[in-house]
């Protein structure tokens, strides 16, 4: 029964930790930080699975009345999964739970934590192409998704986010500015799209995988939807993995086989053209593959 009691305590601690994640999710939704809200939602879904496993172990331990080998093995697996979750999320709550739980575990060595001196992150060196003028920012503000895109870009730069993420956002922004300067009317920038039956307002909790966006529309004008790719595709002959999944969704939408709505629940009509735009050189094989699969035009550069 001792193991059952420990697992029951673990379940209750995990449930308290989940409340902290839900509070963070609600805070992200209040400030309309869609990227953080999606990440927190995925973390909550994973934590729900870990809580279910802890509760299952608690139930089996109570029935067994002792510490059977299989339950101990599953408990150690759960502990490893929790450690991975803590590393992924940077959760102090989970780290604390593991620290208190492992004090009673005789199978692990106790290690004194190595002292670490706090380090200040060096200031981010902004590349010229990352910097937007006040007038460029003003051009983006009236576009649906424009304020959120600027907020996301500023947050990534301020938080020393990955260079690839900054370049991806800048590439989309530069594509929109180019379209505006050509006299085109831009409807959306970085707009998540949903199936109508799965749509929920973003100011409500998103707690189900089916409520996640199908993908994002990087740029959409009155005549074109433009998917902007800033990564290195020089060795690719066709799209694969996540890029292929996204391509499939966009293709069904463009062909009228998939009805979608934007983040406000408004139905979106497919435009006349579907464009893939690459900021770096690509093989002709990839260009031919895209055109052969129904893409209207492949562009290079911004």
Q: What's the whole-number mean pLDDT along residues 195-204? A: 63
**What's the whole-number mean pLDDT along residues 245-266?**
93
What distance in Å separates the CA atoms of residue 152 and residue 163, rounded to the nearest whole number? 14
* 275 secondary structure, DSSP code: E
Is pLDDT at 29 greater than 70 in this prediction? Answer: yes
Write phi, then psi, for 292 (nearest 5 degrees).
-70, -20
By residue count, the chain amounts to: 302
Check pLDDT > 70 for residue 122.
Answer: no
Q: Examine the pLDDT at 1 and tell me if it is beyond 70.
A: no
Question: What are the CB-based long-range contacts (under 8 Å, 24+) for 234-240?
Answer: 234/280, 234/281, 234/282, 234/283, 235/283, 236/282, 236/283, 236/286, 237/283, 237/285, 237/286, 237/289, 238/285, 238/286, 238/289, 239/286, 239/289, 239/290
* Confidence at residue 107, expressed as pLDDT on a 0 to 100 scale: 43
Q: What is the mean pLDDT of residues 277-298?
A: 96
Between 33-37, 130-134, 245-249, the lowest mean confidence (pLDDT) is in: 33-37
Task: Round the average pLDDT of the chain to a whole number and report it.
Answer: 79
Is the pLDDT at 51 greater than 80? The verdict is no
Contact 85, 40 (CB under 8 A): no
In this prediction, residue 157 carries a pLDDT of 82
In this predicted structure, what is the pLDDT of residue 162? 83
Tell me how far apart the alpha carbons of residues 243 and 15 are, in angstroms, rounded to a whole number: 35
Beta pairing class for 273-278 and 224-229: parallel
Residue 95 above 70 pLDDT? Answer: no
Question: What does the pLDDT read at residue 110?
Answer: 47
Q: Which residues contact 271 (CB under 8 A, 6 or more apart)?
A: 220, 221, 222, 223, 224, 225, 254
Contact by Cβ (8 Å): 154, 185 = no
**Cβ–Cβ contacts within 10 Å for residue 133, how many?**
8
Distance (Å, whole) CA 139 – CA 182: 13
Share of the chain above pLDDT 90, in %: 42
Q: Is residue 140 within 8 Å of 190, Cβ to Cβ? A: no
Residues contacting residue 280 through CB under 8 Å, at least 6 positions apart: 230, 231, 232, 233, 234
* Residue 120 binned pLDDT confidence (cut-offs 50, 70, 90): low
Which residues have CB under 8 Å from 2's CB, separation 6+? 67
């Amino acid at each position: 029964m001792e193991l059952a009691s420990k697992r029951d305590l673990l379940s209750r601690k995990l449930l308290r930790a989940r409340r902290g994640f839900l509070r963070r999710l609600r805070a992200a939704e209040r400030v309309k930080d869609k990227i953080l809200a999606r990440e927190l939602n995925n973390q909550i879904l994973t934590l729900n699975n870990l809580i279910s496993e802890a509760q299952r172990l608690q139930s089996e331990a109570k029935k067994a009345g002792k510490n059977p080998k299989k339950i101990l093995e599953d408990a150690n697996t759960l502990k490893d999964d929790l450690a991975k979750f803590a590393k992924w999320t940077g959760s102090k709550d989970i780290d604390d739970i593991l620290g208190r739980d492992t004090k009673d575990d005789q199978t692990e060595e106790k290690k004194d934590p190595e002292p670490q001196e706090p380090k200040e992150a060096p200031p981010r060196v902004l590349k010229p192409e990352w910097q937007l003028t006040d007038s460029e920012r003003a051009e983006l503000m009236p576009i649906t998704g424009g304020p959120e895109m600027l907020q996301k870009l500023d947050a990534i730069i301020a938080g020393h986010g990955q260079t690839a993420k900054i370049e991806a956002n800048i590439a989309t922004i530069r594509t929109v500015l180019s379209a505006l300067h050509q006299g085109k009317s831009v409807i959306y920038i970085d707009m998540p799209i949903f199936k109508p039956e799965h749509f929920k307002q973003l100011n409500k909790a998103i707690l189900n995988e089916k409520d996640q966006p199908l993908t994002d529309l990087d740029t959409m004008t009155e005549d074109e939807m433009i998917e902007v790719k800033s990564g290195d595709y020089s060795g690719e002959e066709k799209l694969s993995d996540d890029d292929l999944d996204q391509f499939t969704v966009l293709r069904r939408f463009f062909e009228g086989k998939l009805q979608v709505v934007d983040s406000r629940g408004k139905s979106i009509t497919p435009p006349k053209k579907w464009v893939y735009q690459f900021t770096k050189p690509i093989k002709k094989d990839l260009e031919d593959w895209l055109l052969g699969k129904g893409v209207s035009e492949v562009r290079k550069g911004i």
